Copies of this chain bind each other. A is one copy, B any other.
Amino acid sequence: MSLRIALLGLLTAAGPASGYDLTKRFESSINHAWQARHSQIYPELNKMAADGLVTVQEEGSRGRKTYTITEEGGRELRTWLIEKEPSRSYRSEGALRAFLLPTLEPHEAVALLRAEARAYDARLAELEALRMAKPSWKSPGFGEYALDLGIRQTRLMRDWSEETATQIETASRS
């Protein structure tokens, strides 16, 4: 379901596009909130066309199909946003690892956490850069809130890793 919604959102925000375009838009915009490969996107667009949420507006060279969102597609997006209670369940390898840290020796846990903190530093730099350079196709404001959220979350992971490392280090010295 969410993939449909994401595609409808991208079509709304940036106008008609092919599956190929949408795959790239995914990478350059919504990537920190949701991911999808072309192998998932193409079949989904076909199903959405069958369901009347999008239409093939034009067929170009190399078999390119340009999809446009229909009125029904617009309603679907709106209904999802307004009526669907979002799942707030959270699943992350990082958190699972956090859970299992006490099964390791303190010095091992500290090393892992410090390495994680560095990885999140790098990710943070990427996201900050993204905030500066925005792709031309975006409608104004689109994706900014989600990017802000992504940056906050990455910063949180960095800080938590760093602080937990220090905490374990201190505790293990006593």
Q: Are B148 and A160 in contact (CB under 8 A)?
A: yes
Beyond A33-B91, A90-B32, A92-B90, whether A148 also contacts B164 by CB under 8 A is yes
Per the 8 Å Cβ criterion, residues 71-97 of A in contact with B are: 77-78, 81-82, 86-97
Stretch at the interface among A6-14, A15-23, A40-48, A51-59: A6-14
Q: With the chains together, A144 CA to B167 CA distance in Å?
A: 12
Tally of this chain's copies: 2
Q: How many residues on A have C-beta within 8 angstroms of the other chain's C-beta atoms?
A: 57
Q: With the chains together, A96 CA to B143 CA distance in Å?
A: 9
Q: Are B160 and A99 in contact (CB under 8 A)?
A: no
Q: Interface residues, chain A, CB within 8 Å of chain B?
A: 2, 5-6, 9, 12-13, 29-30, 32-35, 77-78, 81-82, 86-104, 108, 112, 116, 119-120, 123, 139, 141-146, 148-150, 152-153, 156-157, 160, 164
Besides A32-B95, A86-B93, A88-B93, 10 other CB < 8 A contacts?
A: A9-B96, A32-B90, A33-B95, A78-B103, A78-B104, A81-B97, A86-B97, A96-B146, A99-B142, A102-B141
